[in-house]
Amino acid sequence: MRLLDLDPTFVVRDGKRIGFTFVCPTDPAFRQSCFPNPPMVSEQCDLFDMMHGEHTMVQPCGQDKHWQIAGGIDAATFETMTVTPSLNGSPGGLWHGFITNGQIVGGL
């Protein structure tokens, strides 16, 4: 499965990309998020409401979690994006796996 198939959207604050969301590969009623440096959960939720509407369910990231986006988030494209380590949505019952070269890997 390609990340592009999951309606990925960059999270932008003050004109800069700070993260992204995508439809959960295992439960399309939810979106998952990823941030190299997550803001406070309350700020994430405000950004998600502005981006997707307040009735869209988006799993935020804990502030103690950090992901590397190969080449940096400013240069990233959803077609080729690689994120490490894995994205673990399992605490909320969602997908846990990798994004590698624009592909959803594992956990399906």
Task: Report pLDDT for 62.
Answer: 85
How far is Cα 61 from Cα 96, in angstroms, rounded to an integer? 13
Per-domain boundaries in the chain: 3-105
- 11 torsion bin: left (phi>0), alpha (psi -120 to 50), beta (else): beta
Q: 19: burial class by Cβ within 10 Å (0-12, 13-18, 19+)?
A: buried
For residue 27, the 8-state DSSP code is: -
Residue 74 burial (CB count, 10 A):
9
pLDDT of residue 108: 75
Q: The pTM is what? A: 0.94
Beta-bridge partners for 100: 103
Stretches in the chain below the pLDDT threshold 70:
none
